[in-house]
Amino acid sequence: MQSIHNYDVYIFDCDGVILNSNQLKIDAMERALRALSFKDEEINQCVNYFSNNFGRSRFHHVDVFFNDFLPVEENKDTLKSKLLSLFSSQCKELYLNADVTPGFISLISSLNGNKYVASGSEQQELRDIFVQRGLDLYFKEIYGSPTPKNDLVRSILEAEKTTNAVMFGDAVSDFEASKINEIEFIGYLPYSNVRNKVIDLQLTYQFQIIDDFNEVHQ
């Protein structure tokens, strides 16, 4: 892997990479499900899926919940909308309070290439929060769901007309987005919900894993 300073484009996931927000979002989804009075077993199945497939959009997760775990026949679309609304309202609050990951500002400030966010979080919500927190100043553009992460990364590379790029992520979906688009991947794992899964992938694909942004190849 080349020096971190030699890339033209840097792409960052948000949750667990820029913000220490993974567990906060898992707790928020559990509260949203409980507010709709689903059974404990059903909620646990949903939350386990949510945690183990982190990085995918909330729209994907809610579709899976209602297709696979929640026995709802009537008013399904209404309940989906309610769940998304409850979760979204909590995300706005937690994003304002979530800590920026240690060393992130120092790292991104040292990089000269164009920087992007490609997140599973809802795009406009994420953009609004980044503006409120002053984080938007570090990025050329901030992208999120409902567009799949693979497509977000592809669009960034097409716009930049390069594949000399690296993605920082903490989830399997982040690795998949980088692999499909044939760019480098760095697994930043101190807050990952699927640390062992990413480590297993690293054994096969030999990308760099770090627990501290100071560990990237200089």
Residues 83-103: tens digit of each pLDDT: 999 999 998 889 999 999 999
- Single-letter residue type at 97: N
Q: Which helix (H) or strand (E) holds 30?
A: helix 22-35
**Mean pLDDT confidence for 145-155:** 95
pLDDT band (50, 70, 90) for residue 56: confident
At residue 36, the pLDDT reads 95
- pLDDT greater than 80 at residue 185: yes
Q: Which residues contact 111 (CB under 8 A, 6 or more apart)?
A: 4, 5, 7, 10
Encoded tokens for 82: 């309610």
- pLDDT greater than 80 at residue 186: yes
- pLDDT greater than 80 at residue 1: no
pLDDT band (50, 70, 90) for residue 217: confident
**Mean pLDDT confidence for 110-127:** 95
- pLDDT greater than 80 at residue 218: no
pLDDT band (50, 70, 90) for residue 112: very high
DSSP string, 127-140: HHHHHHHTGGGG-S
Q: What is the average pLDDT score of the chain?
A: 95
- pLDDT greater than 80 at residue 169: yes
Residue 181 vs residue 2, higher pLDDT: 181
> For 18-43, what is each residue's pLDDT tens digit?
999 999 999 999 999 999 999 999 99
* Strands laid side by side in the 9-12 sheet: 141-145, 114-122, 9-12, 165-169, 184-188, 208-210
At residue 54, the pLDDT reads 85
At residue 73, the pLDDT reads 85
